[in-house]
Amino acid sequence: MENIIIPTWQFDPNWLPESTRIWQTICVVIAVAVVSFLWRLYRARSHMWRLQRNGMPMPPHHWLFGHLGVAAKIFRSLPPHAHLLLIADQVRREYPHLDTAFYLDIWPFGPPTLMVISPELVSQFTQDVSLPKFEGLRKFLEPLTGKKDLVSMEGHEWRHWRSKFNPGFSAGNILSMIPAMVEEFRAYRDVIRQHALQGDIFPLELPTLAMSMDIIGRVVLDQRFNSQQSFNALTGGMVDQVAWCDAGLHANPLQYLNIARPFVQRYNTWRMNSYLDPILKQRYATIRQRPKSKVIADLIMSTYAGHPSQPTDKQQPRMDPDFSEFMRAQVKLFLQAGHDTTAASIVFALYLLSRHPAVLRRLRSE
């Protein structure tokens, strides 16, 4: 009996037109993205459903939209570009029973979050027990500090270096620096007075930011940045860099696709480091000449160099690359952490004084 060969048909992908294969690939990618999105949406919402069933505090939760409706209503009532963290206080005002802590589900614009309002409750996981920090914080600080700063540290490393900073923030040390602060504030007064004499309209935030960073420069580095009078590469780069930092919490998905961000961040980093490096190297080389200095940069350098209580004639210490990077991170952290909060507080205080003439008169009389 002769062998009978039955032909079999096999799918040949090359048989399809090129355009069809491209569309198939696109459809597969879209399908995977949609399934992944739906799965993550289900995980976020189901987590909140379980918390709600267990009686955990939260605003009214929608099975599909979570708390996006609550958040949208609140942000519509706030000025444009208001900080995301304002939502916690606004929720407390809208729902007075949520006065200590509550859960908030705004996925996909952010992870499900426990919003803590009570200072006593906050101290339980920031002072009594140091819990791991939010990854978005490190992501925001990475272009500034490379995640080598005090805020990004955890556990033993954080406790070690935080203890070294404590003398710099003591009440006595801050009081000793008041003359330097007043000197910088007088420069700020002169800038504001000049604008008042000219009668022009100007953004108060810019000179106030410059004044804040000039004061921080005196406290942290014992350096005069003079950024109120002229351009300074460090403070200018800092203000620009902060504007390009990203914590990964955007309402507009297109903001994640900014291809210019990494290039601008590298340029600003180069500007800031080029200004800082000579100052840090010079202060470290002469650290033994300032054994009792309470300048914050000197406190860190003294710890690293292990200098004795009295100056010696030993060879001048040299800053290695790792410690140089560490020092840059701390200086930039203090500039970032202090300049905007201080400036915003001063600007808002001056605004409130302008709205309440009676209080302004009392302040002037004092």
Q: In this model, does residue 196 exceed pLDDT 80?
A: yes
Residue 99 domain-assigned? yes
Residue 276 domain-assigned? yes
Q: Which of 111, 129, 147 is the last residue of a domain?
A: 129
Q: Sorting pLDDT into bands at 50, 70 and 90, what band is 251?
A: low
| Per-residue confidence (pLDDT) for residue 311, from 0 to 100 | 45
Quote the distance between the C-alpha of residue 249 and its chain's center. 12
How are beta strands 113-116 and 101-104 bridged, if at all?
Answer: antiparallel
Q: What is the CA radius of gyration of the chain?
A: 28
Measuring CA to CA, how many Å separate 340 from each of 66, 269, 307, 335? 32, 19, 35, 9
Residue 103 domain-assigned? yes
Q: Are residues 171 and 65 in the same domain?
A: no
Instruction: Name, in order, each residue with C-beta under 8 angstroms of 148's C-beta and a sequence gap of 6 or more.
Output: 325, 326, 329
Q: Which of 89, 112, 129 is the last residue of a domain?
A: 129
Q: Sorting pLDDT into bands at 50, 70 and 90, what band is 310?
A: very low
Residue 25 domain-assigned? no
- What sign does the dihedral 142-146-152-154 (CA atoms) show? positive
Q: Are residues 215 and 336 in the same domain?
A: yes
> Contact 277/320 with Cβ under 8 angstroms?
no
The residue range of the domain holding 93 is 36-129
Of 142, 344, 152, 153, the residue nearest 242 (C-alpha): 142
pLDDT tens, residue by residue, 333-356: 888 887 778 888 899 999 999 999
Q: Are residues 172 and 310 in the same domain?
A: yes
Query: Which residues in the chain belong to E strands, given as ranges?
Result: 101-104, 113-116
Residue 351 domain-assigned? yes
Residue 1 domain-assigned? no
Domain count, the chain: 2
- Give the separation between CA 207 and CA 201, rounded to whole angstroms: 13
